[in-house]
Amino acid sequence: MVRIIPDIPKIRARWAHRASEIPDWLEVPMSDGTVIEYYPKIEQPAFRKAMEGVRKMAVGYETKK
């Protein structure tokens, strides 16, 4: 079995915006010459809270009597 391993010393951090505190993605070159991009998993509490509010909303129409 042949395994492709990352070339750790050559990992490159990339930023899409100057305001970003952490890299937006990492480029990791592999031993076979390919480059894999890794993106950090970022929690978005404000978005999650908004989606919970949407789930609680009534959906559909109520008929008037």
Q: Give per-residue pLDDT as tens, 22-54.
A: 888 999 999 899 999 999 887 777 777 777 777
C-alpha 23: how far from its chain's center?
11
61 pLDDT band, cuts 50/70/90, is low
CA distance 37 to 12: 10
Whether residue 57 has pLDDT greater than 80 = no
Residue 18: its pLDDT value, please? 85
pTM above threshold 0.75: no
Q: Which of 1, 3, 10 is nearest to 35 (CA)?
A: 10
